[in-house]
Amino acid sequence: MRMIYHVVPLDDWLRIPDRPYTPASLAEEGYVHCSPDEATALAVADAFYREAVGPLMVLMIDEEALDAPVHWEAASPAPPPGSGPEVRFPHVYGRINRGAVAGMLEVERDDEGRAVRLRAWA
C-alpha cells in the first residue's frame, strides 16, 4: 500500500459523503493536488490553508486503490516552503473514490493559523 496525502477542510470532505470527492482543483486544473508524505502535506497546509475555517484534515489515500490515474510531477509553479525543487507531487487525474481513503489526520494549527503538526483523527 502506497499512501499519498491530500489536504482538505473537513466541511469540504463531508459535503457529499455518498459520492466520490471532487475538489475544485479537478475542474480548474484537471487534477487533485496531493503530497508524497506527511511532512510535505503539513508544509502544504501551512503555506496554503492558514485562512481555512474549521478543522483541516489530511486524507491518507491508498494510491493503488484509486480509480483514477496518478502522475508524479513537479510542483507548479513552485513547491511549498520547506520542500525542495526535486520533490515530485502525486496528482490524481480524476475524482477520489472514498474507498481509497485509508484514514485521516487532523492538522493542528497555532493561534495564527500556522500548521504545526499532524495527529491521528478518530
Grid cell at residue 94? 480524476
Q: Where are the alpha helices (DSSP H) in 1-122?
A: 10-14, 24-29, 38-48
Query: What pLDDT is stored for residue 42 in this prediction?
Result: 96
Q: Is the model's pLDDT at 76 over the cut of 80?
A: no
Instruction: Give me the residue spans of the domains in the chain.
Output: 3-120
Grid cell at residue 113? 493559523
Question: Would you tell me which CATH number, out of the four given (3.90.780.10, 3.40.1190.20, 3.40.50.300, 3.20.170.20), belongs to the domain 3-120?
Answer: 3.20.170.20
Instruction: Please report, rounded to a whole number, the percentage of residues in the chain having pLDDT higher than 70.
Output: 99
